[in-house]
């Protein structure tokens, strides 16, 4: 299954990828594509966190949203999809709405990497604090709504973001908390479209954001192997 990837990155890197456990919080447009990319890249140990069900309005951007999955729990649908890709994957489901009071349930597991693809600002802030406290590598997805250009997405430290309303809030939080560590995010420097009503989205922007989050994890694992061998 992974022969073409192994020929690209080598057995040592691939073996290390298979050992790591990644937690993804939020199975939406960003999180679903992040999970799919991780599993197809060889991540076997994965924790998926969401409380919601698949809705018809998810079909324009969420990889698990199909006519056949509407009304089903996102975690159940995502787990089934993961096992269809790799039957040997070990999938842990946390079917909970994460908030600051129950966030510790995530950290009952040994996590090597965490991808924050949730929508709740207070949870994003707490995840940053907890990951730094516990020395867990992480990346957080910023806003992808009301944007059309996926080429404007980038992996960067939160301090280098602009034109992203959500990133602005997190930047202030990092400054106010006097956090000196890197806080890696996926953020777009595209100015969001001014649209009345709910935040709008298109299929490919959150998808690319999710793929970038996953690429950060995989490339970081490969870099760590390289550093060990130097």
Q: How many domains does the chain have?
A: 1
Sign, Cα dihedral of 58, 85, 30, 135: positive
Average pLDDT over residues 169-194: 96
Contact 112, 29 (CB under 8 A): no
pLDDT of residue 89: 98
Residue 230: which pLDDT band, with cuts at 50, 70 and 90? low
Domain hosting 140: range is 7-229
In-domain check, residue 119? yes
In-domain check, residue 104? yes
In-domain check, residue 2? no
Q: Cα(171)–Cα(136) distance, rounded to whole angstroms?
A: 20
pLDDT over 70 (residue 220): yes
Q: Beta partners for 154?
A: 187
CATH of the domain at 119: 3.40.50.720
Please list, in sequence order, all residues whose beta carbon lies within 8 angstroms of the beta carbon of residue 167, skipping any fewer than 6 positions away.
142, 143, 158, 161, 185, 187
pLDDT over 90 (residue 165): yes
In-domain check, residue 1? no
pLDDT in tens, 88-136: 999 999 999 999 999 999 999 999 999 999 999 999 999 999 999 999 9
């Amino acid at each position: 299954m992974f022969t073409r990837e192994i020929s690209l990155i080598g057995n040592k890197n691939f073996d290390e990828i298979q050992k790591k456990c990644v937690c993804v919080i939020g199975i939406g447009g960003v999180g679903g594509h992040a999970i799919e990319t991780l599993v197809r890249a060889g991540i076997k140990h994965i924790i998926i966190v969401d409380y919601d069900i698949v809705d018809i309005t998810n079909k324009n951007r969420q990889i698990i949203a199909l006519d056949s999955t509407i009304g089903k729990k996102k975690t159940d649908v995502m787990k089934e999809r993961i096992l269809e890709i790799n039957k040997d994957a070990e999938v842990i489901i946390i079917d909970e709405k994460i908030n600051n009071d129950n966030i510790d349930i995530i950290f009952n597991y040994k996590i090597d990497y965490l991808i924050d693809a949730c929508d709740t600002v207070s949870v994003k802030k707490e995840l940053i604090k907890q990951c730094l406290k516990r020395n867990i590598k992480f990346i957080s997805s910023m806003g992808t709504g009301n944007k059309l250009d996926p080429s404007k997405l980038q992996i960067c430290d939160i301090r280098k973001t602009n034109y992203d309303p959500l990133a602005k809030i997190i930047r202030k939080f990092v400054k106010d908390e006097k956090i000196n560590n890197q806080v890696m995010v996926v953020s777009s420097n595209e100015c969001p479209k001014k649209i009345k009503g709910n935040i709008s989205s298109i299929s490919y922007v959150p998808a690319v954001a999710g793929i970038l989050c996953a690429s950060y994890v995989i490339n970081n694992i490969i870099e760590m192997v390289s550093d060990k061998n130097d």
